[in-house]
Chain A
């Protein structure tokens, strides 16, 4: 389908923009490029006149101005980490001779593998880091309700018994090592969630295989891999799908939800559990129709709440 991006004036602007963004970190440049492309698509009809296009371009400002404004953006650029070798050298210079007399014999007793393992273990965990998120299926994403109470934002959709539901979330790996998400996630906080996600089949978690900020950056357009990895200092979309299960509830009008996601993660040879704080409380509401659907009965009967 033709879009405003194909208009010669827009294409020329985007070409100059991409050149102006060349000095930025690749992810930041790609994201800004995606945002402006979305701006053009929203602002201009596919058959917009030259005058209308020129008006929108003039309002946006020159590509160089936009690129200059993106100057000091990303956390890792604002606070660039020293290379590991330099960090070690600085630490060595600051250690006194007396301390060395203690450290050297001690270090000799620790094998290289153990040292490596410790290094892996202290790597920071995956995190949300102000990224993006969405309910995965359009039927949920178009009908979600966002509410706010007691300083908690809650994003609620209707529970669809026996059907797949899920979320997509952009996670950041702040560590120096690739982190591979192995495990079945558990969403915690309420006693309902173990049953909700644990049956009748394990939830599935997958990681996008590419950078999220390609053209248009839409998470559904990316490829996903179960057991996929997030490279060091990179973002990836993470897709969590589960078959919804409401049979632990005993009346309509309630909801299950959580604002934490727990995953099993592998760094090098080490496997550990990481709890990721989600940007909102994802919740599933239960309606009378859910409870009348007969689904619980067909799957072992209705169970009262603990």
Chain B
């Protein structure tokens, strides 16, 4: 299926998981805005636009999952630090459990599909064990 554009699908998928990813980072320790954005950016392909992290943080705050506080550190200017709330931790725990099962299920289906295609392609040796339903 070459030439198909998956950008829209991955964008929606990415939007769905960004919130839990932010919560996971904040569960490790509180972070200020730029610090959080940089840590998110280190995960390749997760962020397409760093600026969207801030609206996301505000939505998580509105949901009661994230809170913020101003801190002074040494001679630096005051910064707003974001941290996860107890509600946020509970949500993250639930998401982690669901995500593991969901990702495993998707992965299984995608592998099956790839296996079938390999078997059906004419003139090419199947890489794995052929499926019995291939004709």
Contacts and interface: CB of A to CB of B under 8 A. Distances in A.
Is chain B's interface secondary structure helix, strand, loop, or mixed overall? Answer: mixed
A32 interface: yes
B67 A131 contact: yes
B17 interface: no
B89 to A, nearest CB: 9
B32 A73 contact: no
A23 B70 CA distance: 28
Given A36-B54, A220-B78, A141 B67 contact: no
Interface in A56-79: 59-63, 65-66, 69-75, 78
Interface string A32-43: 100110110111
B49 A65 contact: yes
Interface string B51-79: 11011111101111011111111100111
Interface residues of A, number: 43
B94 interface: no
B54 A75 contact: no
A141 B70 contact: yes
B58 A59 contact: no
Interface residues of B, number: 37
A32 B67 CA distance: 15
B49 A41 contact: no
Contacts of A142: 71-74
B78 A218 contact: yes
B113 to A, nearest CB: 33
A164 interface: no
B64 A39 contact: no
Nearest to A167: B69
B68 to A, nearest CB: 4
A260 interface: no
Interface string B37-51: 100010000001111
Contacts of A218: 70, 78
Given A132-B69, A142-B74, A38 B64 contact: no
A36 B55 CA distance: 10
Interface in B65-101: 66-74, 77-80, 83, 85-86
28 contacts: A28-B58, A31-B58, A32-B55, A35-B57, A36-B54, A38-B34, A39-B54, A41-B77, A42-B79, A61-B48, A61-B50, A61-B52, A62-B49, A66-B55, A69-B49, A69-B55, A69-B56, A70-B55, A73-B59, A78-B62, A130-B85, A132-B67, A133-B67, A142-B71, A144-B71, A146-B83, A153-B86, A219-B70
Per CB-CB distance, the 10 closest pairs between chain A and chain B, nearest first, are A61-B49, A70-B55, A66-B51, A60-B51, A134-B70, A42-B34, A69-B55, A69-B52, A35-B54, A132-B68
Interface of B: 30, 32-34, 37, 41, 48-52, 54-59, 61-64, 66-74, 77-80, 83, 85-86
